[in-house]
Structure 1
Amino acid sequence: MYHPTVARLTYRALLGRRRAAILFLLPGLLLLIAAAVRAFNGADDQIAADVLGGFALATMVPLIGVIAGTGAIGPEIDDGSIVYLLAKPVKRPTIIVTKLTVAIAVTMVFSAIPTFLAGLILNGNGQQIAISYTIAALVASIAYSSLFLLLGTISRHAVVIGLVYALVWEALFGTLIEGARTLSVQQWSLAVAQKASGDNGMIASDVGLPVAVTLLVAVTVAATWYAGQKLRTLAPAGEE
């Protein structure tokens, strides 16, 4: 279910000059914010949790997920080059799983590592805040990548829709509106972070851990399956 050639081409597309610049921008901004906050406020556990939860998890991770998830397949569908890939003797589920694996890896590297480093800068991992939010970023990376990869297969406006979702639903509604929080990847990953922190009171989620884990797995599996089904409809005549 993993194709090295497809993976290499996908990595090349995602880490090209323009996309790589955007991918480095958000982590760089997070580290800059963390350094400034530490310089002006010193080490403070609550401020560290606020910065990592408010910017890293609520904004940076979903935006990087948009870039990596949609970029793993969307451009190929838009410019028609996906037809050449589909003409090869590679099963459609293998293409999706490979591209998803690459998208997850890229999202994790550009979100989880900066989150951990920012946590160390802010308070040296006091109260396990850096570790907990890093775990949350890793978990969220999987769900976001699958969602946005699916979006890239079903819409030519995947990036725009993804940005609206990330900035409006996750960063705004998922934070402020109680009912929307239950359907927020951010809240699901926060439930994991809350458990990882030992329920120290610094990290809280509106979703219980069993429900959060169930929804994370269900969304990831369903999005991956449907993306594979959608890709089948793009297959050349006579292919599967």
Structure 2
Amino acid sequence: MFNPTVARLTYRALLGRRRALILFALPALLVAIAILVRSLVGADDTTANGILGGFALGTMVPLIGVIAGTGAIGPEIDDGSVVYLLAKPVSRSTIIFTKLLVAIGVTVAFSAVPILVAGFVLNGNSQQIAVAYALAAAVASIAYSALFLFFGTVTRHAVVFGLVYALVWESLFGNLVPGAKTLSVQQWALAVGQKIGAEGAITSDVQLPLAISLLAAVTVAATWYAGRRLTSLTLAGEE
């Protein structure tokens, strides 16, 4: 189910010059903010919670997910180079699964790891906040990668759709509209973080069993539909 050649090509595409700049810029900004805040106000749990939950998990993680998820396959479909990949004796499901693993790896590396570092800088992991948010980011990375990879297979405007979802649905409706919170990857991830952090340190509007079920359902469904979509693409001369 995993193809090293596909993985290498995907990593190369994701870490190209323009995408790499964005991928490095967001975590660097988070760590810089953490250092500045710590130097100005000292270790403060409330401030750390606000930065890690608001900017890091609420904005940075979905944006990195958009870059990694859509970038794993969208550009190849847009420019037609995917036909060369599909012409190889590699199953469509293997291609999707490999690209998903690469997208997850990139998203976790550029989101969960910097969040852990920023958390330790902000308050030294008081109330397990740094670890809790890092784990929440890792869990969210899986669902975001699958969802945005799916977007990349169904539309040429995957980045636009991804940004709308990340910035409008997740950051706006997902935080402000009670009913929408149940359908927010961010809230599902917060439920996982809530379990790890000290009591009351992190809160979510979704119970943990439901959150885990929804995270798994979205990841599996998005991956399956992406595979179906890729399978529907035919090459010239295929019967």
Question: Does the 8 A contact of 1:65 with 1:145 survive in 2?
Answer: yes
Hey, what's the Cα distance between the residues in 2 that align with 1:172 and 1:56?
15
Hey, what's the Cα distance between the residues in 1 that align with 2:42 and 2:164?
34
Q: How does 1:1-240 map to 2 (within 5 A)?
A: 1-198=1-198, 200-236=199-235, 239=238
Hey, what's the Cα distance between the residues in 2 that align with 1:235 and 1:5?
21
What count of residue pairs does the alignment treat as equivalent? 239
- Give the AA of the match of 1:219: V
Structure 1: which 5+ residue stretches go unaligned? none
Task: Please give the per-residue CA displacement for 1:159-215, whole angstroms capped at 9, x wherever unaligned.
Answer: 0110111111111111111111000000000000000114x1010000000000000
Aligned alpha-carbon RMSD (Å): 1.0
Hey, what's the Cα distance between the residues in 2 that align with 1:116 and 1:165?
25
Hey, what's the Cα distance between the residues in 1 that align with 2:205 and 2:84?
45
- Give the AA of the match of 1:5: T
- TM-aligned CA deviation for residue 24 of structure 1: 0.5
Percent same amino acid at aligned positions? 72
Hey, what's the Cα distance between the residues in 2 that align with 1:5 and 1:43?
46
- TM-aligned CA deviation for residue 27 of structure 1: 0.4
Structure 2: which 5+ residue stretches go unaligned? none
- Give the AA of the match of 2:6: V
- Give the AA of the match of 2:213: T
- TM-aligned CA deviation for residue 220 of structure 1: 0.2
Which has the higher mean CA deviation after the structures are superposed, 77-86 or 29-38? 29-38
Hey, what's the Cα distance between the residues in 1 that align with 2:36 and 2:167?
24
TM-score, normalisation: structure 2: 0.98
Question: Does the 8 A contact of 1:87 with 1:235 survive in 2?
Answer: no
Hey, what's the Cα distance between the residues in 1 that align with 2:56 and 2:9?
28
SS in 2 for 1:195: helix
- TM-aligned CA deviation for residue 118 of structure 1: 0.4
- Give the AA of the match of 2:153: T
- Give the AA of the match of 1:139: V
| Over 6 Å off, 4+ runs | none
- TM-aligned CA deviation for residue 233 of structure 1: 1.0
SS in 1 for 2:50: helix
Hey, what's the Cα distance between the residues in 1 that align with 2:76 and 2:218?
24
- TM-aligned CA deviation for residue 239 of structure 1: 4.9
Task: Please give the per-residue CA displacement for 1:109-137, whole angstroms capped at 9, x wherever unaligned.
Answer: 00001000000010000000000000000
Hey, what's the Cα distance between the residues in 1 that align with 2:238 and 2:59?
40
Hey, what's the Cα distance between the residues in 2 that align with 1:40 and 1:169?
33
